[in-house]
Amino acid sequence: MNYKFFIIPCVFFINACVYSRNDGILVKKIMIDDNQNVGMVFLSNVNYREKKGSEVGSYIYCEPSKLVDEKSNLFPDAEKKSITGVIDTVNIINENLYSYNVFLEKNIHYDLFEYGSIYTCQRFTGSMSWFLKKSEKFKINLLINNSL
């Protein structure tokens, strides 16, 4: 029996599920309002407003670092203590550098600092085929005005 017809599609499927790239994300500013929503200004070498193929939108997802397995990628979950925000507006600084303002809201009600001020974040881009493309993980400290 020839297994090539089964194995090759599986390799492409697995590769699409774990696609990741280095976005060069650099957090420049963190602001927290009275409702513990987080405003974040960051730079990236990727224009998230340019959609490729079946891509539908990008967002930032963060969890308290004390709850994160550092060896694994994050997996967005609306039931976890986390903050999420859609990447909407882009400011072009030059042809390879873009600035973003993102408003991160809590997914469930909890004290934003319950597990400390350090959060592990990742950028996700969804697609019509349900695959999530993701960036490298990066950390933010909610108590200071820049990233770790």
Distance CA 99, CA 86 (A): 14
* Two structure tokens written together for 71: 């060896």
pLDDT of residue 43 exceeding 70, the answer is: yes
pTM of the model: 0.78
pLDDT of residue 21 exceeding 70, the answer is: no
* 84 vs 19, residue with greater confidence: 84
Domains of the chain plus CATH, in order, are: 20-141 (2.60.40)
pLDDT of residue 16 exceeding 60, the answer is: no
Widest Cα–Cα separation across the chain: 65
46: exposed, middle or buried (C-beta count within 10 Å: 0-12, 13-18, 19+)? buried
Q: pLDDT band at residue 7, thresholds of 50, 70 and 90? A: very low
Output Rg (C-alpha) for the chain, integer angstroms.
Answer: 17
* Among 69, 61, 83, 77, residue whose Cα is nearest residue 134: 61
Q: pLDDT band at residue 76, thresholds of 50, 70 and 90? A: confident
* Two structure tokens written together for 118: 């350090």
**Mapping DSSP to helix (H, G, I), strand (E, B) and coil, where does residue 1 land?**
coil
Q: pLDDT band at residue 40, thresholds of 50, 70 and 90? A: very high
Query: What value does the mean pLDDT take over residues 125-145?
Result: 79
First vs last C-alpha separation in the chain:
53
- Relative to beta strand 20-21, strand 133-135 is parallel
Query: What value does the mean pLDDT take over residues 32-52?
Result: 86
Query: What value does the mean pLDDT take over residues 109-133?
Result: 85
